[in-house]
Structure 1
Amino acid sequence: MTTGTTPATTRGTAPVGYQYVVLRCVPEVQREEFVNVGVVVYSQAADYLEAAWRLDEDRLRAFAPTLDLGAVGASLDTVCRVCRGETGGGLPSLGGLGRRFGWLSAPRSTVVQPGPVHGGLTTDPAGTLQALLDRLVG
C-alpha cells in the first residue's frame, strides 16, 4: 500500500465532510470490466487529501493476463504524488487540495480510472481512508 499526504487528524472532534473516489483498474476500456485497486479521500474542512492503494497481483493476472502490473503501480504512485502536491516530471501543477481532488476524480479513459464521487462524514479522515481501502479494495 502507498499513501499520499501526511494526514491531518480530526479524531475526537466534530465530524467533517469528506469525498472519495474508488480507483479502478480497467484493462480493456471497451469491456467496461474493472477491479478496485485504490481510494482517494478529500476533506476540505480537515485540509486532507490522501490516496492508498493495494494490488492483488494474482487476481489481476487472472482478470487480465497481459496487464502490465508495473505500469498500474506506477499510475497509482502518480495519484499519491499528485495528492502530495508534487510537480514536475510530467505531473500537473494544480495548486490546492480541492483542485487536485478535482483532477484526480475527473473521468478518464486510462487503465487506472476513478469511479463516481461519494461523500460522508468522519472524525478521522486517515482512518476513513484505511476503512474504505479495506472494504472496497480488500
Structure 2
Amino acid sequence: MAPFDYVILRAAPRIQRGEFINVGAVLYCRALDYLGAGWDVKPERLRALDPAVDVDVVCASLDQIRAICAGEAAGGPAAGTTISERFRWLAAPRSTVVHPGPIHSGITEDPAADLERLLDAFVR
C-alpha cells in the first residue's frame, strides 16, 4: 500500500459566477512513481452553466493536463519537470476555465485503478 494525493478538476465556464462542474481528476503517487489524469466531459452539463461555453476549449485544456502528466512535449515546459513538480504545478490554485479543487489523499496498490474509481465517484 502506498499513499497518494489527488485533485478533482473542475470546469467553470463563467468563472466570475463561481459555479463549476467536476470534469476530471489528477492522481499522484510518489512511492509508485505514478502521475495520471483522466477526464469525462458532458457538454450538456457545461451548457447548463453557460449555453455559450466552448466545449472544445475545455477538452483541449484537459488534454493538455493529461499531456503534462504523461511528460509529453504537447504539455509544454511543465511536462519536462519531475512528476512531483508536475503534480504541484497542476494542483496549484488558478483562475481559469479548468482548475483544480483541493488536494486530498488516499492509499493505493493500483493508482491507475484508483484514478478510474475517482472518476466514477466524482465525475461520471
TM-score (norm. length: structure 2): 0.94
Aligned position for 1:7: none
Aligned position for 1:111: 97
More helix by share: 2
- Runs (4 or more) in structure 1 with deviation over 4 Å come to none
Aligned position for 1:35: 21
Between the two proteins, the alignment pairs up a number of residues equal to 123
Specify whether residues 90 and 81 from structure 1 end up closer, same or farther in structure 2 by C-alpha distance, changes over 3 A only.
Answer: closer
* Residues 36-76 of structure 1: CA deviation (Å, up to 9, x unaligned): 00000000001000000000111111221010000000000
- 68-77 or 21-30: bigger deviation: 21-30
Correspondence 1:51-62 to 2 at 5 A: 51-62=37-48
TM-score (norm. length: structure 1): 0.85
- 44-53 or 91-100: bigger deviation: 91-100
Which stretches in structure 2 are left out of the alignment for 5+ residues?
Answer: none
Which stretches in structure 1 are left out of the alignment for 5+ residues?
Answer: 1-14
- Secondary structure of the equivalent of 1:104? helix
| Cα shift at 1:28 | 1.6
* Residues 5-58 of structure 1: CA deviation (Å, up to 9, x unaligned): xxxxxxxxxx10000000000112221110000000000001000000000111
Query: Identity of counterpart residues, as a percentage?
Result: 50
* Residues 106-137 of structure 1: CA deviation (Å, up to 9, x unaligned): 11111000000000101110110000001000
Q: Over aligned residues, Cα RMSD in angstroms?
A: 1.2
Name the aligned partner's letter for residue 97 of structure 1.
I
